[in-house]
Amino acid sequence: MIPYPHIDPDIVRIGPFHIRWYGLMYLLGFIAAYFVIPRQEKSRSLGLQGATLQDLLFWVALGLIVGARAGHLVFYQYPYFDYYLSHPLEIIALWHGGMSFHGGLIGSVLAGYIFCRKKGLPFWGVADCVVVAAPIGLGLGRIGNFINGELYGRITEVPWAMVFPMGGPFPRHPSQLYEAFGEGLILFAILWKMQKKNLADGMMVALFLICYGTIRFILEFFREPDPQIGFILGFFSMGQVLCAGMILAGSSVIILLKKRKTNGS
């Protein structure tokens, strides 16, 4: 067993004002995206640089935050709807934690679509460029989860197991680090290699949906299900059900792109 490194989740505390590692990871993810997105040939052809890229990332960030919070409440907190109706300020209490990747994905897609419509940019082409950088923020976010000691893994006897402060006295998988490696480093390597190929607009989005969905679906077997809902379909977690939806959505995009290519030829 490896001792859990107790790292203060707060970097700075000044009265009620806190700067947390988790929030910093979000910020670093968007900074990385600002430098990674323009390095793609497709991004340069679309003019995703300078002020246009800054505006796009602002819209995506706003959609991600709103969507991630809304997704957390809808997907993971539905047993407590009455509580949130009685305490409406808790709905926007981001400082108490609670962000859903799948909700953030939906929110960022909607925000990106609105931005592209306003600017007259091709949505699928822009989305292809953005998703390449997404794994960087995902990996950093999982490191933030690890520092917070949240979203820990299931009980195990592997030599690298850790006892998390909020996970009781039992050694558990450091599943946050598994996800940081799989959803972050590995997924980024796959997408960065594939973006160099001359793929149809939308294909990178499909690849992201399928690869992320598959990687996380597998890694969810090592992660402790959310206690308020547990398993929802046999031994499958909510995260796995949502990831299955991502895989289906990505496969559907590929089918639609192939049909469009066939009809257009």
Task: Give the distance from CA 252 to its chain's centroid.
Answer: 20
The whole-angstrom separation of Cα 41 and Cα 198 is 10
The whole-angstrom separation of Cα 215 and Cα 247 is 10
Which single residue is written with the structure tokens 């149809």?
Answer: 200
Q: Which of 221, 191, 226 is nearest to 205 (CA)?
A: 191
- Flag whether 142 is marked binding: yes
For 12, phi and psi rounded to 5 degrees? -140, 140
> Are residues 162 and 171 in contact, defined by beta-carbon separation less than 8 angstroms?
yes
The DSSP code sequence of 169-237 is TS-B--HHHHHIIIIIIIHHHHHHHHTTS-PPTTHHHHHHHHHHHHHHHHHGGGBPPPTTT-EEETTEE
Which residue ranges make up the annotated binding site? 142
